């Protein structure tokens, strides 16, 4: 859905529906397991580019996530507990979908362009109707 902020005809319930859909997506599809897989893949690839050997500084103190959770309360503690790594992942890190085929990418871009044009047309009609009423 393409939403234009310049169109005042969007109602509060439509905005709430969009916000709820985004919130549901985040809670259901952006699980910490996926985030850790992605971060592992990203950091592993980045590490391959590095030329230096990291060393632990003298006097460094290990700080673990359990220590952070012990001082947290309420929602902060709940989210921290959800994000704790409980064990190794059973899937390969970052199983990304394959890139678009040229025809699939072209179809996607066409749909996007058409959606934007449709919203712009709705806006144009809205303002024309508003001008006619005045």
Q: Which of 97, 123, 87 is nearest to 8 (CA)?
A: 123
What separation in angstroms does the CA of 33 have from each of 30, 85, 113? 8, 8, 34
The tens digit of pLDDT for each residue in 20-58 reads 888 888 777 777 667 777 888 888 888 888 888 878 899
Range of the domain at 123: 98-134
5 located within any domain: no
Better-scored residue on pLDDT, 27 or 10 = 27
127 located within any domain: yes
Same domain (yes/no): 65, 18: yes
State which of 36-40, 96-100, 101-105 shows the largest mean pLDDT. Answer: 101-105
Position 90 confidence tier, pLDDT thresholds 50, 70, 90: confident
Q: Is the dihedral of CA 107, 104, 109, 35 positive or negative?
A: positive
48 located within any domain: yes
Lowest average pLDDT, out of 8-12, 35-39, 73-77, goes to 8-12
4 located within any domain: no
Same domain (yes/no): 73, 30: yes
Contacts of 36 (CB under 8 A, 6+ apart): 85, 89
């Amino acid at each position: 859905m393409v939403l234009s902020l310049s169109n005042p005809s969007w109602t509060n319930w439509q905005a709430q529906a969009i916000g709820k859909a985004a919130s549901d997506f985040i809670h259901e599809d952006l699980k910490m397991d996926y985030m850790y897989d992605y971060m592992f893949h990203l950091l592993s690839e980045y590490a391959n580019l590095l030329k230096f050997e990291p060393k632990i500084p003298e006097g460094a103190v290990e700080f673990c996530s359990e220590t952070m959770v012990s001082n947290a309360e309420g929602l902060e503690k709940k989210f921290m507990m959800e994000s704790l790594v409980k064990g190794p992942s059973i899937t390969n890190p970052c199983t990304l979908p394959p890139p678009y085929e040229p025809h699939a990418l072209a179809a996607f871009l066409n749909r996007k362009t058409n959606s934007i044009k449709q919203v712009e047309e709705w806006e144009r009609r809205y303002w024309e109707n508003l001008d006619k009423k005045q």
